[in-house]
Amino acid sequence: MTLGRVICAISGGVDSAVAALLLKRKGYDVLGVFMTNWDLTDEVGVCSQDEDRHYAQKVCTALKIPFQEVNLVKEYWVNVFQPMIENYSHGKTLNPDVLCNRHVKFDAFHRKCQNIANDPNIVIATGHYAHSSLGEGVFEKQDILQKPALMKAVDKMKDQTFFLHKITAESLMKTHFPLGKMCKHDVKSLAINSEVSFTLERKESMGICFIGKRTFKNFISNYIPLKPGEFIDIFTGKVMGCHDGIFLFTDGQRSKLSGKEESYAVVHRNPNTNEILVVRGVNHPIFFSKSVLTGPMHWISGLPEAVERSNKLRCQFRFHHQSNLVDCCLHTLDDGKCLVILDEPLRAMTVGQDAVLYLGDQCLGGAEILEVGPSAHECRDPQNVDYLSFRDAGIWRHLMDKFGPDVGAFTDNQSSKHQIDWKRVHS
């Protein structure tokens, strides 16, 4: 018995192949669709998407489902690649996968699939490790009064909700995640004894999809001209070495300087002077902050009642998909921005990254980090915060006056827990 029609995004990898396999075995009428997002070859003249397309076609042939391809190169260029280049050139750290999911995979791709199916309510399945509160109820084609919630996958190591935090409730209402309640090893076990076992031959894709086998430097220098500058010791002002461009580094990154035995790490990149400020030691207190100021929050399932009622919310925070969740308190501000105060300090939070919020297993949404709060080094004396030159002291003085010293100060217990070596703080 055929349960109904569903489109499954096919990438050529094992995850999307197993997603389509599960749908087919359950009795759905599955159409496989491959998306082309990038059309340039790598440095040896090999287009990685040609191989992806070959495997995607092979998956559909093996499963005896139709195969189609959609071209989203323009959408990817405008909504993902150009913003990434703009941010990198200004010393910001942006995650292109987040933009790709928001604007391409769960927006433009959805519209293309609706046209293919001639059905504005067609359900699109993907191989992402995530879960929707609707589950298979998404296929019931009935009016959904309550917005669906984006939930963590059962496999917490593979969970991809961080990268999905900017998708809309409207997209989620028409999305199904067949792998959401499976662990990766179960997916592989299912694949190895199936028609799509050949997908296990492929290496799992990691990193930025369009770079291919090139180094990041070799790739990005085609779009942002190399602009040599100097590494400057933030405390002494001494020139410590030279670099090829601020866009090749991010805050907190270890930087092995020529002729220096000890490791230095990046504190700040100045796009105006092209200088990179560094400090000796990767765990210096200058890297540990306890608060971030974000842009307006994108709430996937709508504004939480607690925020609507009191302009604040206790929840959990992460700014990197592999980092542990940290308890926090979110405060909404009059200008639409948000202040997130963490219960524990985190290392190297960076402007341009995303502050992603969770409540239990639910991913609530997120927002871009606009400013990072004063560090442990700056807050040695909570009564007299010694702001660094690049910190917007006016903003943080105002926020500390309004919300108290927790915006920046640490307890002795926290500094000990995070192994901040106070004796090595430069004066």
Q: In this structure, what token pair is assigned to residue 318?
A: 């992460």
Coil, helix or strand at residue 315: strand
Q: Do 33 and 118 form a contact (C-beta atoms < 8 A)?
A: no
Residue that the structure tokens 């917490």 belong to? 156
Q: In this structure, what token pair is assigned to residue 332?
A: 């909404």
Q: Do 357 and 297 form a contact (C-beta atoms < 8 A)?
A: yes
User: Known catalytic residue: 242?
Assistant: no
Q: Do 67 and 53 form a contact (C-beta atoms < 8 A)?
A: no
Strand order in the sheet with 239-243: 239-243, 229-233, 275-280, 264-270, 254-255
Catalytic residue, from 8, 60, 113, 209: name it: 209
Report the C-alpha gap between 224 and 235 in whole angstroms.
Answer: 30
What are the distances in angstroms from CA 310 to CA 294, 333, 352, 358, 394? 18, 11, 27, 18, 25
| Strands (E) located in 51-122 | 67-71
Report the C-alpha gap between 351 and 409 in whole angstroms.
Answer: 20
Report the C-alpha gap between 126 and 14 in whole angstroms.
Answer: 12
Catalytic residue, from 100, 113, 315, 379: name it: 100
Query: Integer distance in angstroms from the first to the last C-alpha of the chain?
Result: 74
Radius of gyration of the chain (CA): 23
CB atoms within 10 A of CB 192: 12
Give the largest CA-CA distance in the chain.
74
Report the C-alpha gap between 116 and 7 in whole angstroms.
Answer: 9
Q: In this structure, what token pair is assigned to residue 187?
A: 């997916």
Coil, helix or strand at residue 180: coil
Q: In this structure, what token pair is assigned to residue 207?
A: 């990193």
User: Known catalytic residue: 100?
Assistant: yes
Query: What residues act catalytically?
Result: 100, 209
